[in-house]
Amino acid sequence: LDTTIQGVEEGNADYYTMTRHDNPALAEYALGSYGRNADNDYTCPDDLVGESHGDGEIVGGMLWELREALGPTKVDHLQYGALSGSQMHTFADYAASVSAYAELMMNETGELQFTQADVDLVNQVLEERGLVDCERIVDLWVDGAAVSKLHYGSFDITQGQGTPSSLQYRATTME
């Protein structure tokens, strides 16, 4: 069961509101420190948490980064087109849809037309954000240190509590 697609849904929903209000911060008044901010550098799998709102910040960050580089008109159209373009089940499916729709936008005219440089930038950002080949398997230790951002809901597995999760955690043993 790969639930990263729920992160795609949440990230896109957040982006709709953020782009409409021209503000990368969402719900800072209502949710305080739990509000989301698309002006981030989150990547997969490093910032994957197994919770749709948290995982959505990776997608929202990718869209906001593209919006800052290409402008809201192009990216809003890209975002909507990519969502309506195909069936998606994973971050990788979504990344493929965004990339394919960016290519299609080279056939547009006027302010919606993408250049090859625009398409290249979209693919670069998708790759840098880790969405192209993101899997829901997260290493528990990196270079001998415990990864502390792994959580699901209010449970933090690094604090000795546990809960079922849609993520798979990998522990590599010494040979």
pTM (predicted TM-score): 0.82
| Long-range CB contacts (within 8 A, 24+) of 18-24 | 18/60, 18/64, 19/63, 19/67, 19/72, 19/75, 19/76, 19/79, 22/72, 24/60, 24/64
Phi, psi of 114 (to 5 degrees): -90, 145
Q: Calculate what percentage of the chain has a pLDDT beyond 90.
A: 54
pLDDT in tens, 72-130: 999 999 999 999 867 888 899 999 999 999 999 999 888 999 999 999 999 999 999 99
For the segment 139-149, the average pLDDT, to the nearest whole number, is: 58
